[in-house]
């Protein structure tokens, strides 16, 4: 919940000037709902893709204040579902997140599906148990060809907005575990599912994190609010 329409457009203008060349890196931005239309126009002649931060799984109905996947279809390429803030602050359960992911896929978009453990779960040695449960429940009913379109973002909740990023080795181990868990459900398709790391990714740690074999990208939070910082992360991905 940062940046209104004018601030979002200003950020995109700055970002465009700094990441004009693609060179094998896919870049997407996920502005607030009210800025999506303007940002979509601003990105029309670029390779930068557009995403939304959330959606409701029902097409329409008495859900005042919500935006459905059906409404987003044709406007965005990606929709973030299951973000740690949605899980913690809005008490969203894996069963509900699963419905969101399936709705996003049904309308031709790709979900960025977030999974991750709390600090208490991490300290209790429950990380892999939590991740296995989330993968099983969040992917329920999603077939192999659909699963290949899902982007999984591992975001340890204890690292969100705290400045405490997981070490590159820890991030790699967790993302590798997620891929192995996906392999139990989808076989070789797990090798093409993109797995990102999210959790205080910044210009200083991006290259080390993105250099890990099972980390295919980053879900960037606070560092995406400044064009210079985000552009530096994109540059790290290119390397």
**The domain that contains 147 carries what CATH number?**
3.20.20.70
- Counting other chains too, the contacts that 26-32 makes at CB distance below 8 Å and 24 or more residues apart are 26/217, 27/234, 28/77, 28/78, 29/224, 30/78, 30/80, 30/112, 31/3, 32/1, 32/2, 32/3, 32/4, 32/8
Query: Which candidate in 117, 146, 155, 181 is catalytic?
Result: 155
Q: What does pTM read for this prediction?
A: 0.95
- For the question of residue 185 being annotated catalytic, the response is no
User: Quick one: pLDDT at residue 161?
Assistant: 66
**pLDDT tens-digit series, residues 111-125:** 999 999 998 898 899
- Could you give the dihedral angle defined by the CA atoms of residues 72, 111, 162 and 90, in that order, rounded to the nearest 10 degrees? 60
Angle formed at CA 109 by CA 159 and CA 171, multiple of 5 degrees:
25
Whole-angstrom distance, CA of residue 73 vs CA of residue 212: 33
Question: What domain range is 120 assigned to?
Answer: 5-238
Beta strand 110-115 pairing with 49-52: unpaired
- For the question of residue 155 being annotated catalytic, the response is yes
**pLDDT tens-digit series, residues 169-223:** 999 999 999 999 999 999 999 999 999 999 889 999 999 999 999 999 999 999 9
The Cα-based distances of 190 to 96, 178, 182, 183, 218 in angstroms read 23, 9, 5, 5, 18
User: Quick one: pLDDT at residue 23?
Assistant: 74
**pLDDT tens-digit series, residues 210-231:** 999 999 999 999 999 999 999 9
Handedness of CA 10, 16, 17, 18 (dihedral sign): positive
**pLDDT tens-digit series, residues 57-96:** 999 999 999 999 999 999 999 999 999 999 999 999 999 9
**pLDDT tens-digit series, residues 9-67:** 999 999 998 987 777 899 999 999 999 999 999 999 999 999 999 999 999 999 999 99
Handedness of CA 46, 148, 34, 19 (dihedral sign): negative
Query: Which candidate in 83, 117, 146, 181 is catalytic?
Result: 83
**Number of domains the chain is built from:** 1
């Amino acid at each position: 919940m940062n940046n209104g329409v004018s601030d979002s457009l200003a950020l995109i203008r700055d970002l465009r000037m700094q990441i004009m060349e693609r060179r094998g890196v896919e870049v997407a931005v996920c502005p607030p709902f009210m800025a999506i239309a303007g940002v979509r126009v601003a990105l029309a002649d670029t390779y930068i893709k557009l995403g939304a931060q959330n959606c409701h799984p029902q097409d329409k109905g008495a859900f005042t204040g919500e935006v459905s996947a059906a409404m987003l279809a044709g406007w965005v390429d990606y929709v973030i579902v299951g973000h740690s803030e949605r899980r913690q602050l809005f008490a969203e359960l894996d069963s509900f997140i699963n419905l969101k992911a399936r709705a996003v896929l049904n309308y031709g978009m790709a979900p960025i599906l977030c999974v991750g453990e709390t600090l208490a779960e991490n300290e209790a040695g429950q990380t892999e148990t939590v991740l296995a449960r989330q993968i099983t429940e969040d992917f329920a009913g999603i077939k192999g060809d659909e699963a290949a379109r899902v982007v999984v973002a591992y975001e340890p909740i204890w690292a969100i907005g705290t400045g405490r990023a997981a070490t590159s080795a820890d991030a790699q181990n967790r993302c590798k575990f997620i891929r192995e868990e996906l392999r139990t459900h989808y076989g070789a398709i797990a090798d093409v599912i993109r797995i990102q790391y999210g959790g205080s990714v910044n210009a200083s740690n991006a290259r080390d994190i993105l250099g890990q074999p099972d980390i295919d990208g980053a879900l960037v939070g606070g560092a995406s609010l400044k064009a210079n910082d985000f552009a530096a992360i994109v540059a790290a991905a290119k390397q």
